[in-house]
Structure formats: structure tokens, C-alpha cells
Amino acid sequence: MKCSAFFAVHATLGSLQLASAMPHQVRADLDSCLNAARLSTDFPGSSGYASASLAFNRRFHYSPAAIVFPASDNDVAVAVTCANSVNLPVSARSGGHSYAAFGLGGHDGSLIVDLSKMKTIKVNSDQTATVQTGNRLGDIALTLFNSGGRAMPHGTCPEVGVGGHSGCGGFGLDSRLWGLLLDQALSAKVVLSNGTLVTASSSENSDLFWAIRGAAPSFGIVTEYRYKTYPAPPSNIIFTYSYTVSPTTASSIFSAYQDFAKASAPPTLGLQASIGTPKSGNKVSIALTGVFYGSKADFNTAINPLLAKVPQPQSTNIKTYGWLDSLQVLGGQGLNTTIIPDGSDTFFAKSLMVPQETPMTQASIKSFFDYIGNQGASSDTSWFVLADLFGGQGSAVSAVPKDATAYAQRNGLINFQMYASSSNNAPPFPSDGLAFVNNMFTSITSKMPSDWKYGAYACYTDPTLSASEWQKRYYGDHYARLVSIHQKYAPNSVFRYPQAIGS
């Protein structure tokens, strides 16, 4: 699917298309079911509908059948039952930050269950946290810390929703220390395709619990999670070592990063390579950056083996923060999402998960940096590449047994995210933007053996992948088990979207 072309079609047809495409009887039956249940709903044509239909990624524009705003688990169940009665697809929306607008269904005509009214967060006496899925990550972090100095691992952007994030992974710089967000789940309340509310945990509906930890959107709407929490570390050292160098030097720096990542980085070290280009010349900018959770002395011991293998940085920035301040610095904004309104972007991104057993060869590293050096400065997109360390010695992400959850990338060492936006973050997305990112991706894969078993991080949803590609890259050999659990819980699933299990 060429999504830039897709956008153009939808931009001109707008929401009128849906009204004519949906049979009158379905429209009438859906509306009367939702109205009878007194659910707060934006129908097409109502005053809130246009803004409630906007995706975070403005490369996409979809027209839902309606958007409901439940206030309770029961409301969610009723909404799903209404959609089921007219056989309309349903998608939940938590923070709306899906890369492919799957929180709007990823196509026209879904019933959207927007969870934004379900924002309870509670730290229990056993230090677990009960979190409704309408919450955003920043508000969760604030509330946990203000309830006895607690913390959880998750991504850095405060506006991302916990519902989507926890369903596909949930990676932050603290994940090597504590794991992914989905690894913290102890139980979940889930509304199934037939409108039944069930609990999923290791002792109740354990197969469903397995499936929602990696592929939640296909199995139901999680209304609430109970998570493990941790004492927030008092000392959080944010560090950046920056270079602007030739592609050849950047390759050797990256190579040292990969070696260190695999063999020496302790789990208290969150680390990434942040890669870009200056606006002119055949140069590459690369920064080795991250957070160390611990003392200055232990940080020096941890980072020195890496520093010994790379040139003297052109600039260095190291500063120690308390927990909430460190999250604000990483997120680049305040954590309270009521105060800071949500943004948007117009972008395409791809993930490449480099496996621990077969890391990148020198030839593939060189090919990637040559591509960046040659093409990066002249791209009409605004782009970045982040190569996040997921695995390595002692990483809590890789420590979870491979088959313990549906998340299938436990052997991932480094997760590349190749991300290109339109230059002003608004539509249209440049017509050569997809090719720019795709060629960056193949600059690596084309230099690796043809049977290289790389993966992709499902949270960095790539709607251009074919069915066989996303099934294999996101879910690997867990896909067959996901299909069989899906048949049990959702034989005629209403949770249909472009990359749903079994679709």
C-alpha cells in the first residue's frame, strides 16, 4: 500500500465518503444502539466529530462510523456489543499515537472506542498500580512518583497512551533495567469481541494474558492493567557524546557501540545511537546518548569501556537529575498532558530489530552510513534514526523467556527506528519520503546474508509491510499460536484492522 497516495484520496473525499458507503440500516441500527445506551458519542456530522477523527500521524485520514467515549468498563462492553450487532469493526483508542492511525481503525468505517474518560490511576498497598487505559504515560509517571516515589518502565513521550503502548511493547531507556511495560502487567481487564468482560492473568485466561502482552489490539479492549512498580532511582545521569564525522568514522563509532552493546553494557545503562546529518556536506552526526541509573562513579566504570573504543567526542554533556526531572528532559516537555496539549506529525517510520546472535556486519554498517552521508542532507524530509539498545548482557528485556509473552523480539539487540517527517510536520508528506526511508532500510539488509533473521518492533507500526512481512517481523514463530488463541476468543472478531492477527 502506498500511503502517500492513500492520503491524497482521503483528503479530497473527506468524511462524505463514509456516509454514502455505509448501508442506511447499519447506520440507523448502530446509532439507535449507542443512543439507547446513552453513550457519549460523536457521530459523523456532529460538532466534535472532525477533530475527534484526526490522527496523530496526519499522513492518514480516516472517517470512523462513530467515536464513543465510555466512562466505565460496562460502557466499553456496551459499545462493543452495539458494533457486534451490526458487524462493524471496532478499534480502541488510548493516546492515538499509532504510527499507522490504527487507533482510528486504519480504515474508514470502524466504531472507535476512545478511552480518554477512563483515567483512574491508583497505587495499591502492595505497591502495584491499577491503571485505566485512557491514561497517557506522562500522567502515569507523575501520579506514581507522587504516590510514594514509585516508577515503571515505558517510552519517553508523555503523550503516548498506555493502552496502545502496553499492547505492543513499551520500551524506555529504563527497559534494560526493568523490562518493557508489558512485562510489568500482572493482570488486565479485557472486553472481548462478544462484549464479555474478563480478567486475564497467569491464573485466569492465561492464554489471553499471553496474547495481549504483544498483540493486544486483536484480542479485545483492555480497560485496566495492574502493573508492578519500582522505587524511582534517586540518581539519573543523562549523558550525550556527540560527533559530526565522515561516514567512515561514523561506521567505526557505531561498530564500537554495537560491540559494547552486546558484551559490556550493564543493565543500569540505557543507551542509544542518535543519527542524523548536518544540512550540507558528506558528513554524519552521531550521538551516543542515554541514561545511567546510579552513581557517578559507577557510571564512569560502566561507560569507560565504550569511550576507550571511540574517538574523543566533539561535545559532551553529562548531568544528574532526580526521577521526574529526568523524564521531563527525555520527553522534552512537561509530564502533565492536561496542561500540555497534544501535538501531531506527518511521517513514515520503519523498524529493524538487529538480532543478538547475528549483529550487523562491517559491510552493512558502512553501507548504512554511506547512504546517510550521500542522501541525508538533500532529503526534503526532516528525519532521524535512533538505534536503541534493547538487549545485551543482563538486559531485563532479553531476560524474559522467549515464549513467556506474545512479544517476540526477546533476542533483539538493537532496534533501529528510521523516521522521516514532512519538513513542517504538516501534510503533505513528500512523495519521495517512503523511498528515502525504505532505501535506508535496504542499505543495511542488502549487505546482510539473504537468510538474516531480523525482526521489527510492533509499536513502530509500518503499514507498508505485506501480511507475510509483518506477521514474520513482529511476531516471528509466535504468530501461529496467536492465530489459534484468536480463534478461541474472537472467532468472528470485531477487532479488525489492517494488521490484525488472523486477517
Ligand X SMILES: Cc1cc2nc3c(=O)[nH]c(=O)nc-3n(C[C@H](O)[C@H](O)[C@H](O)COP(=O)(O)OP(=O)(O)OC[C@H]3O[C@@H](n4cnc5c(N)ncnc54)[C@H](O)[C@@H]3O)c2cc1C
Residues that bind ligand NAG (CB under 6 A): 139, 142-143, 192, 194, 196, 336, 338-339, 489
In three-state secondary structure terms, 400 is: coil
* Number of other CB atoms surrounding residue 316 within 10 Å: 11
Q: State the DSSP code for 381.
A: E
The site string for ligand X over 125-154 (x = CB under 6 A, - otherwise) reads --------x---------------------
CB 377 within 8 A of CB 281: yes
Query: Which among ligand X, ligand NAG, none contacts residue 142 (Cβ within 5 to 8 A by kind)?
Result: ligand NAG
**Which residue from 202, 168, 188 is spatially nearest to 500, judged by alpha carbons?**
168
Our CB check for ligand NAG shows the closer of 220 and 276 to be 220
Q: Which residue is associated with the grid cell 545511567?
A: 292
* 465: its cell numbers: 509491510
> 301: helix, coil or strand?
helix
Question: In the complex, what is the shortest distance from the CB of residue 107 to ligand X, in angstroms, rounded to a whole number?
Answer: 12
Q: Which is nearer to ligand NAG, 152 or 271 (CB)?
A: 152
Q: Which of 130, 117, 128, 129 is nearest to 69 (CA)?
A: 117
Nearer residue to ligand NAG within complex by CB, 334 or 355: 334
Residues in contact with ligand X, shown as a per-residue x/- string from 315 to 334 under the rule CB under 6 A: --------------------
Residue 169 in contact with ligand X, rule: CB under 6 A: yes
How big is the CA angle at 66 (ends 62 and 68), to the nearest 5 degrees?
Answer: 120
Choice between 248 and 338, CB closer to ligand NAG? 338
Cβ 198 to ligand NAG shortest distance, Å:
7
Subset of 94-123 contacting ligand X (CB under 6 A): 94-99, 102-103, 115
Pairing of strands 111-114, 90-93: parallel
Compare residues 98 and 143 and give the one whose CB is closer to ligand X.
98
Peptide bond into 428 cis (omega under 30): yes
**152 contacts: CB under 8 Å, gap ≥ 6:** 129, 140, 141, 144, 178, 181, 184, 227, 228, 229, 230
Residues 233-292 within binding reach of ligand X (CB under 6 A): none
- Closer of 154 and 262 to ligand NAG (Cβ): 154
Q: Is 214 in the site for ligand X (CB under 6 A)?
A: no
User: Which residue ranges make up the site for ligand X (CB under 6 A)?
Assistant: 56, 91-99, 102-103, 115, 133, 155-157, 160-161, 163-165, 167-172, 216-217, 221-222, 459, 497
